[in-house]
Amino acid sequence: MTDAKTKTAIVTGAGGGIGRAIARRLAHDGFAVIVADRAQGPADETVALIQAEGRQARAEVLDITDEAATQALIDGADDLRVLVNNAGIFDVKEFDKLTADDFRRMYEVNLVAMATLCQQAARVMPEESRIVNLASRAAFGARNYAHYVASKAGVAGLTKALSLELAPKQITVNAVAPGVIETDMLKARSDSLADMKAQQPTGRLGSPEDIAHAVAFFAHPQASFVTGQVLIVDGGRSVGGTAAF
């Protein structure tokens, strides 16, 4: 258990990539971070990095689609002030090859599990708490992963709906929608990173830290009048156009 005097933040999918960067940033901001992941090793690595910087963190291993496990996660968090729903899945598949089960699997992890965690957390969070969901720029349209696009569009809609539902409790609900971020998940795709960079107005891909900074803004006490927003963090790619040559 964490020190009851220390505000707690839960970050799901924090065993690497964007989730790890978010966990480290929130720890730097003074939260005791619960690093939630489905794999023990990566979660422990994130905790070790945070503790090496003199910050508080501990690991919790669970499947976020297991409601009993997520309830136990929430119950074990002292003074929970921030929930970051980062965990999710992604794969590339052409639309005419997608099955109903592909959509169901994507929705169960990326949307239903998130909604459940939000519900469980909101029941115990005090006023002025924060929920930050990870959406995606892909929610506004992309080829070859319609099931993922649909699930992330659902995240954007859920975020807006919950911002109204939880406004009476002064709990803000916002989302960060990353663009192309250089993570292990991205590198596993068949797309060329060089081609992706060429399509970026800034001429570079995003880093996990870019997303962590945006999440930290929504989690900050001074962001109390910002709710129901979906912040696109994509280096300007959603505006249109490519890097100048």
What residues act catalytically?
148
CA atoms within 13 A on the CB side of 219: 30
Dihedral angle over CA of 61, 212, 214, 30, nearest 10: 80
Q: Please, are residues 64 and 11 in contact by the beta-carbon 8 Å criterion?
A: no
CA gap 238, 227 in Å, rounded: 21
Q: For tokens 């619960």, what's the residue?
A: 34
Four-residue CA torsion sign, 102, 106, 111, 117 = positive
CA gap 55, 33 in Å, rounded: 9
Which SS3 state, helix, strand or coil, does residue 175 take? strand
Compute the chain's Rg from CA coordinates.
17
Token pair recorded at residue 221:
């006490």
CA gap 103, 210 in Å, rounded: 29
Amino acid at 88: G
